[in-house]
């Protein structure tokens, strides 16, 4: 998964996938689907807030599996035509890339009325937004004496904001931040000027103490005071703030990201899968999610249900006022060949 690519989870995910594949012999009766998400606290939160209520309301059985990185399995199931999974909760990059390669079903939105009111950019032909998180600028307030960095421009300004810095060891989101630091307006980011982004990254590279690889690592860096400012996922900052760490973050210049729901090509329970997706993005269930974890609902209509207390809503990345200050990551661009080439340049950049 994009939020947690540490190797242990990856291995764990692979083993779960193998177990899942072994159970593939039995065909599922109608009224059952296999739903795949990314495990850990995030999947637990969904189970309570969305999956269990939806299963009860539709009278279906939801078999759960988890895979931190679903892409290899999507590719295997799609290409062999031996689909075991039905619905996958995964970054839209996988849905779009999968759809382009015939591994993911195209969605018939006439069957998904709950998606109608959602903003167009929260949907792709193959998928629909399920939940939101954000890559934000987090910092240690103690280190800045009332004047913390509030934008990527500040992050790149090593004169005025001295201190140790960290960025994610991954191009997604990092290239966006570099361009914003270079003065590109949020609405003009895509298509990304990749050369310009890497040139700007080259500038900050000597000042980066650590390029983190897992969400847990980013949290540890800020918690231990190893770095003074860094890009990290909002849920991770909130978690250490709750633990009493000297930490804060801003949604300014945040890179709003989400995971989408999509259906594997040739999934065994297509009809139920579509029914499930429609129910899972219904505002009343979507509104439950932020009560259990620091992620925002994929369907903004959830904010109008009255279920989410106002104070809580203001903390969430997809709360309209927060969303306005951020840029929505374009997975369509990252799925394009320009995006794939940019991704390939990352390793070369790190090595130089």
CA distance 151 to 125: 33
Q: Of 163, 134, 135, which is closest to residue 148 (Cα–Cα)?
A: 163
| Choice from 63, 75, 196, 292 touching other proteins (CB under 8 A) | 75
Between 210 and 257, CB nearer to other proteins: 210
| Choice from 4, 65, 69, 86 touching other proteins (CB under 8 A) | 69
In sequence order, the 6+-apart residues with CB closer than 8 A to the CB of 176 are 189, 192, 197, 255, 327, 329
In sequence order, the 6+-apart residues with CB closer than 8 A to the CB of 258 are 91, 92, 122, 129, 130, 131, 132, 133, 298, 318
The verdict on 257 binding other proteins (CB under 8 A) reads no
The verdict on 170 binding other proteins (CB under 8 A) reads yes
Tokens of 66: 């988890």
| Choice from 23, 72, 309, 320 touching other proteins (CB under 8 A) | 72
Between 314 and 344, CB nearer to other proteins: 344
| Choice from 40, 100, 101, 169 touching other proteins (CB under 8 A) | 169
Question: How near is the Cβ of 304 to other proteins at its closest, in Å?
Answer: 39
| Choice from 12, 71, 109, 144 touching other proteins (CB under 8 A) | 71
Question: How near is the Cβ of 46 to other proteins at its closest, in Å?
Answer: 24
Alpha-carbon dihedral angle through residues 149, 154, 158, 163, given to the nearest 10 degrees: 20
| Choice from 164, 238, 250, 336 touching other proteins (CB under 8 A) | 164
Q: Of 72, 85, 82, which is closest to residue 10 (Cα–Cα)?
A: 72
Binding residues for other proteins (CB under 8 A) = 5, 7, 10, 69, 71-72, 75, 164, 169-170, 209-213, 217, 224-226, 343-344, 346-348, 350-352
């Amino acid at each position: 998964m994009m939020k947690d690519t540490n190797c242990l989870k990856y291995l764990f995910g692979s083993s779960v996938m193998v177990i899942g594949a072994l159970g593939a012999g039995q065909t599922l009766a109608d009224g059952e689907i296999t739903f795949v998400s990314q495990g850990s606290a995030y999947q637990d939160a969904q189970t309570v807030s969305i999956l269990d209520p939806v299963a009860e309301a539709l009278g279906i059985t939801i078999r759960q599996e988890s895979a931190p990185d679903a892409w290899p399995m999507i590719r295997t199931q799609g290409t062999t035509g031996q689909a075991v999974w039905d619905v996958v909760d995964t970054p839209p990059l996988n849905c779009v890339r999968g759809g382009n390669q015939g591994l993911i079903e195209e969605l018939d939105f006439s069957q998904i009325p709950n998606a109608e009111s959602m903003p167009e950019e929260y949907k792709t032909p193959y998928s629909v937004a399920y939940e939101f998180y954000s890559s934000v600028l987090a910092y240690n307030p103690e280190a800045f004496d009332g004047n913390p960095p509030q934008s990527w421009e500040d992050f790149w300004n090593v004169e005025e904001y001295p201190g140790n810095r960290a960025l994610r060891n991954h191009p997604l989101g990092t290239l966006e931040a570099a361009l914003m630091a270079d003065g590109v307006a949020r609405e003009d980011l895509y298509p990304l000027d990749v050369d310009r982004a890497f040139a700007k990254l080259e500038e900050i590279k000597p000042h980066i103490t650590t390029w983190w690889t897992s969400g847990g690592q980013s949290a540890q860096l800020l918690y231990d005071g190893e770095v003074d400012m860094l890009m990290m996922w909002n849920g991770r900052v909130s978690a250490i703030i709750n633990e009493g760490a000297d930490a804060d973050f801003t949604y300014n210049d945040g890179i709003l990201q989400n995971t989408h729901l999509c259906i594997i090509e040739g999934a065994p329970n297509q009809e139920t899968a579509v029914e499930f997706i429609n129910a899972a993005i219904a505002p009343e269930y979507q509104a439950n999610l932020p009560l259990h974890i620091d992620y925002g609902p994929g369907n903004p209509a959830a904010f109008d249900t009255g279920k989410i207390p106002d104070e809580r809503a203001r903390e969430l990345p997809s709360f309209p006022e927060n969303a306005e200050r951020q840029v929505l990551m374009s997975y369509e661009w990252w799925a394009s060949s320009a995006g794939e080439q940019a991704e390939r340049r990352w390793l070369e950049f790190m090595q130089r």
